[in-house]
Amino acid sequence: MCGNSAYGNRLVIRFRPGQAVGRSDLTLLLDGILNARTGDANLDGRFDSSDLICVFQSGEFEDAIADNSNWTEGDWNCDGEFTTGDLVAAFQSGGYDFDANVADSTPSATARSQSG
């Protein structure tokens, strides 16, 4: 996904030699292959509070260092930086999982997970 490479902090996944992929390919890779979505920093298939905690712990949100962020550090639009633009893109994708956080924290869910 996004990360350091010979091309800088840009998306450089190639399915065929000589053909760089675009945003639609990233969406295909995320949704179709990895079962992930924009904002799913830890690639567990859900965009929820654990992803936000993960990316903010990286300490790279709108920092002063250029091109230093990758997918797991909050750069979800592949421009090399973790900014409000990444948060906007993630939330605009509509994939934030509010239910997962509520379900995980309810007493019944906790009891089920401990008894099972």
Question: Closest separation between CB of residue 18 and Ca ion, Å?
Answer: 26
Q: Which helix (H) or strand (E) holds 15?
A: strand 14-16
CB count within 10 Å of CB 113 equals 9
For Ca ion, the binding residues (CB under 5 A) are 40, 42, 44, 46, 51, 63, 65, 68, 75, 77, 79, 81, 86
| Look-up of token digits 């840009």 | 10
Q: Which helix (H) or strand (E) holds 23?
A: helix 23-27
Q: Which C-beta is closer to Ca ion: that of 24 or that of 65?
A: 65
Question: Closest separation between CB of residue 65 and Ca ion, Å?
Answer: 5
Q: Which C-beta is closer to Ca ion: that of 63 or that of 99?
A: 63
Instruction: Check: CB of residue 74 under 8 Å from CB of residue 55.
Output: yes
Q: Which C-beta is closer to Ca ion: that of 46 or that of 55?
A: 46
